[in-house]
Amino acid sequence: MKRIFLTVGIVFTALFVLSNTGAVAVEQQFAERFVVNGTTIAEGPAGTYNFDKAHTFIGFRVKHMGLIDVPGYFRDFTGSVNYDPKDVSKSSVTFTAQMTSVDTGVKGRDDHLRRADFFEVEKFPEMTFKSTKVEKNGDSLSVTGDLTMKGVTKSVVIPFNITGFLPATERRGALMGIIGETTINRRDFGVNYGTNMPNGIPSIGNDIKVWLQIEAAIPAPAKPAAD
């Protein structure tokens, strides 16, 4: 009987050690593969990360009749982040959205947005952003840049967070995640359509909340040539 209890005790001890060793290994692997916020600045690999269109959202929200926010986004865009982990102020961001790709989920409204009342896409087919400064203050970051829409260029500031990195594998390059949000006044860019209601509230809000969720990747490493 004692031998049975001794054997059982050894087995449970071994399982405990193995399970804890496995847990430590998993934690180490997780730490190596995904780093959050403050740590990401030091840990992310340097390079040019191109927006992954399948996992990136360039959207906006605008108040309708002073009641609710109507959301929309752009389906066609390109962009990149040139990231320097040693000195984030040397990083840069650019993106271009095709204005004809605006999508609010309602065809009639989208067609109206493409006309002269709003974006006038035939004359101004693209919206562009080119950063002029990237700053880091503690765990917070912001990018300042020139936003051009409907032929008007204004400097805007976009606070953002880096949500993490994944290292390169044989199938893909390193990945980074970014979320950011800011507010612009549409009238600053010559988008003036919309009348005031009797209570003084505009039928379409002037403030546009810009909402960015970006997954970007360094190109996958080149495969060695076959002998």
Task: Let me know the angle formed at the C-alpha of 51 by 35 and 148, rounded to the nearest 5 degrees.
Answer: 120
What is the number of other CB atoms lying within 10 angstroms of the CB of residue 216?
Answer: 22
3-state DSSP: the chain helix, strand, coil percent, rounded to 5? 25, 45, 30
pLDDT tens digits for 27-65?
343 344 344 443 444 468 999 999 999 999 999 999 999
Rounded Cα distance between 105 and 2, Å, is: 73
Instruction: Flag whether the pTM goes above 0.95.
Output: no
* Joined tokens for residue 132: 């002029």
- Which pLDDT does position 138 carry in this prediction? 82
**% the chain with pLDDT above 70:** 79
Give pLDDT tens digits for 132-188: 999 998 888 999 999 999 999 999 999 999 999 998 888 889 999 999 999 999 999
Spatial distance between the Cα atoms of 200 and 140, rounded to a whole number of angstroms: 37
CA angle 123, 74, 195 (to 5 degrees): 65
For residues 225 and 174, what is the distance between their CA atoms, to the nearest angstrom? 21
